[in-house]
Structure formats: structure tokens, C-alpha cells
Amino acid sequence: MKINPYIFRNYDIRAKVPEDLDAAKAEAIGRAYGTFLRKRNIPVAVVGHDCRLSGPEFSQAYINGLVETGINVINIGMVMTQMAYCAQYYFKTRGGTMITASHNPANYNGFKMAVNYSETTLPDDVKEIKNTVETENFFAPREKGKIIQEDIKEKYAEDLLGRIKLSKKFKIIADFRHGTPGVFAPDILRRAGNEVIERRSDPDGSFPAGTPDPTDEKFMRELGREVVKAKADLGLAFDGDGDRVGIVDEQGNISWNDILVAIFAQEILEKTPGAKIVFNTLSSQIVPWVIKKNGGVPIMWLVGHSFIKEKIASSGAAFGGELSGHFFFKDGFYGHDDGVYAALRLLKYLEEKNKTLSEICESFPKYISSPEIKIGCPDDKKVEVIRTLAEKFKQDFPGGKITDARDIPGNDGARIDFEDGMMIFRYSQNGPYITVRFEAKDEEAYNKRKKYAREILEAYSEMIWQDELCVNLDALR
């Protein structure tokens, strides 16, 4: 089948609908993943989808592809991504797919495909599936698979509520921007004993209020205003498929998710001294500082949920997290990303410490940090743009500590650490855009880094400054 090769990302599939993905292609991808499973003697797969408008059609087509290869399918319908992981454990199968495009805009969809419990595809796995789609070398069974319908909602809720029990009642503003978690998260948070004020919890896959993305500063600042107005204890912002969460404190201030990585690292290290903690290259210098201060071992690694999960497993780390809001707990949990579990875990820590979120952060070093800034750049140009940009970047700052492909395999960009902050340029693994982030300890240095980032990016005609994938461009002005 002829298909845009760029929709096959390093760890999942993301594509524009209908330009690069339709029902026929979804069925072919289902047949390819079914072939992938048959080679690994995995006869059963769980399939779920989020609330995107194309979700039901693609789910049906994808399931048709799976059964054509003899895979038995457990269709769990519209769910959050972590509920698909939960279903794998409950139904005891290493096979599973979540049909979602996570934080991409409404006109995207895609596939997160499991290779094991809580583990998703890595680059070689995606290449194998891509090759099977292109060659149409699908497994031909003696008989087709069967489909059963199951509802995992209550099993998932019981699992989370059995792990974390709160004594304190928190007042929470939860904003979903019409994403899938609005169907499930409020009930769980209330059953945990909290007062929950919902915002935009009705699912609408057209995302009329904007993409549910907790890295979007406008989304988070809006939530912060609502927290202050309601005198709430904190605000929660969920992404479209529920595996990520963002936080604002009781004063309405944004706690970017690398700060949450630091908080969770501190919580874990208080109970497990010497533990390894994995974080991605977009994270603030606060993260390794907190890990070291609390006796842990910091491990910086590639951006991307599959890469972080794989590194946690291979290093034996107790926890890992990303600026995007993916948090992976291995102590008392499965190790996959779950925005609702992360929210409950944070509430439990605040209860144990009897402190507000802002009070927890008071002991951390103070930095001025930009959000993650995303600028459009075509898939066939972004790698070369970052390659040449990174070389100039490293030449311009010879005194900084460089982290690039020499330290972390993947070659998706370069980070430079200074005595008073950091700066990073990289290309996205799951969309046609480039990301940049910077921080400093004082405003003068911060503004210099901001000016440098803006000017070096403006020098590239390949950059698309008005694109649906652009996020937080105001932070460069």
C-alpha cells in the first residue's frame, strides 16, 4: 500500500486526517500490527480509542484488520490510554492498541501499539510495521479472529482507588478542554474524596476550546485564573487521551511538569534512598538538583514516552517523567503513564506533608523557565534544520556542557547547560515541528537566551510560524 512514510514516527503513528490516514489505511495498519503480534505468538489484543471524531471509524477498520490476521480482539471502546494498558493486565494479553494522537490537533489521529505490558513500540518495531503495510505481506490465518466488547471503566477505577487512599478532601478545578478524560477522571477524583469543579468535561473530538495540551501556556494560565477565583487547592489540566496531566498551584501559578518530576522524585527518594530517576532533555536544571539533593541518581534521556519507559526498565529506575506531563511510577504502580494516577499521587504527597503545592516548591532553586515552544517545520526538513542549527548553537556557546547524540543516542537535537540555566533545540519525534526551551536564574540572561532562540530560528526559511502545531510562540516575543 502506498502510504506517507512520515506518519510512522519513532515510537507510534501520527497522521493528518484524511490527507494521510483514512479507514483503508487504518485497516492496513491493523493487519500489519496483527502480523507483528502473530510473529510474537500473541493471539489477543485490546483496542480502545479516544474521543477524536475519526476514532470510531478508525477503530472499526483497525479491528477488522486485526481479525483478518486471526487476532482475537477485545474492543473496550472510548477510553483513556492508560485504561487500554489496564485492560492488557486485566485480560492478560501483551497485545494492545490505543487509537489517539495525544496532544496533536483535532485533525490528527494515530496508533499507540503495545509490545508488552505497559510497553509500546520503539523505532525498530515501527519500521517493521511500516514495512509490512508497504509490502502488504500480511499474515494469512486459517480462520479469522473474533471480537468481544468489554467495559474496563470500573476495573480501572477500582485499581487506582485501591492504590491511593486520601484522608484530606481537596478542592480541585479540573479542566479537560473536551478531551476524553472528562468522561472518567471526575468520578475517580470524587470517589477518592475530593471536591471537583469540572470545566469542559463533555467530550468533543473537534476540540472547540483548543487542543487539550497541558504544555500550552494559555490553557494553563486560564486554569490558574479559575483556581484563584474558586479558592481551590490546585488545578488539573488533562490532555486529550488522559495519560498526561498539568498542574497549577493554589495561587494560580503554573508548575511546569518538570517541577512535578522533581516533586515526585523527592517523594520517592524520601522512601527509597539512592533510587535512579529518569527525566528527559527538556527538563529544567531543578530536576537533577533535587534528585542529587535527596540522594538519588539522575539519568537524563531522550524525549518520548516509549524511550523513557524503556530507559526506566533497562536502568532499574524507580520513576521517570517528562516536561510534557508523562509520569512513570515503578514503585507500587505499573510503570506506564497515567495522568489520573499522577494527580492522585500528588494529592497524597501534599496530604502527607500537610503543605500546599507552592510550599513544597519553596525549597527548590528559582529559575525563569520558558514553556516548551513548538514551531512548525516539515518532516522532510526538520532533521537537517536541527542538525545545522545544533552545530551553530554549540559553536556559539563553547563554554557550556553539551548533551547530544554523543551522550544520548537518537540525535534529535542538542542541549547546552550553563551555570545558571540551560537551552535546548530539538525536532519532534511525533509531528512536523521543532521544539525549543530555555531558562536562566535572572531576567537579563533569560531575555538574552530568548532573543538568541528567536533569531536563530528566524534564520531558517523552513520554519512555519503560523501552523496548527505551533504552541507557546508568545514566549519568544
Q: The domain spanning residue 413 has which CATH number?
A: 3.30.310.50
Whether residues 11 and 147 fall in one domain: yes
Whether residues 277 and 239 fall in one domain: no
- For residue 347, being part of any structural domain is answered with yes
Considering the candidates 102, 118, 255, 428, report the single residue annotated as catalytic: 102
Q: How many CB atoms lie within 10 A of CB 120?
A: 26
Whether residues 129 and 189 fall in one domain: no
- For residue 158, being part of any structural domain is answered with no
For cell 472510548, what's the residue? 78
Going by C-alpha positions, the residue among 181, 150, 145, 160 that lies closest to residue 72 is: 145
- State residue 110's pLDDT score: 98
- State residue 309's pLDDT score: 94
Which residue numbers in the chain have pLDDT < 70? Answer: none
Radius of gyration of the chain (CA): 21
Whether residues 241 and 268 fall in one domain: no
Backbone angles phi, psi at 399, to 5 degrees: -90, -5
10 Å CB burial of residue 41 (0-12, 13-18, 19+) is: exposed
Whether residues 27 and 145 fall in one domain: yes
- For residue 160, being part of any structural domain is answered with no
- Which residue stretches of 69-163 are H helix? 81-91, 123-135, 153-163
- The parent domain of residue 399 ranges over 369-476
- State residue 411's pLDDT score: 74
Whether residues 137 and 217 fall in one domain: no
Domain boundary among 361, 379, 406: 361
Whether residues 244 and 273 fall in one domain: no
- For residue 159, being part of any structural domain is answered with no
Residue range 112-163, pLDDT digits in tens: 999 999 999 999 999 999 999 999 999 999 999 999 999 999 999 999 999 9
- State residue 72's pLDDT score: 98
Whether residues 459 and 381 fall in one domain: yes
Contacts of 190 (CB under 8 A, 6+ apart): 196
- State residue 429's pLDDT score: 87
Whether residues 134 and 9 fall in one domain: yes
Report DSSP state, residue 327.
Answer: E
CATH number for the domain spanning 351: value is 3.40.120.10
- State residue 239's pLDDT score: 97
Domain boundary among 361, 377, 408: 361
Going by C-alpha positions, the residue among 381, 378, 465 that lies closest to residue 16 is: 378
Residue range 235-286, pLDDT digits in tens: 999 999 999 999 999 999 999 999 999 999 999 999 999 999 999 999 999 9
- For residue 166, being part of any structural domain is answered with no
Whether residues 247 and 297 fall in one domain: no
Whether residues 269 and 352 fall in one domain: yes
- For residue 164, being part of any structural domain is answered with no
- For residue 108, being part of any structural domain is answered with yes
- State residue 327's pLDDT score: 98
- For residue 211, being part of any structural domain is answered with yes
Tally of structural domains, the chain = 4
Whether residues 202 and 215 fall in one domain: yes
Query: Is 363 noted as a catalytic residue in this protein?
Result: no
- State residue 410's pLDDT score: 79
Domain boundary among 343, 361, 379: 361
Q: What angle do CA 361, 416, 446 make, to 5 degrees?
A: 55
Backbone angles phi, psi at 384, to 5 degrees: -70, -40
Peptide bond into 18 cis (omega under 30): yes
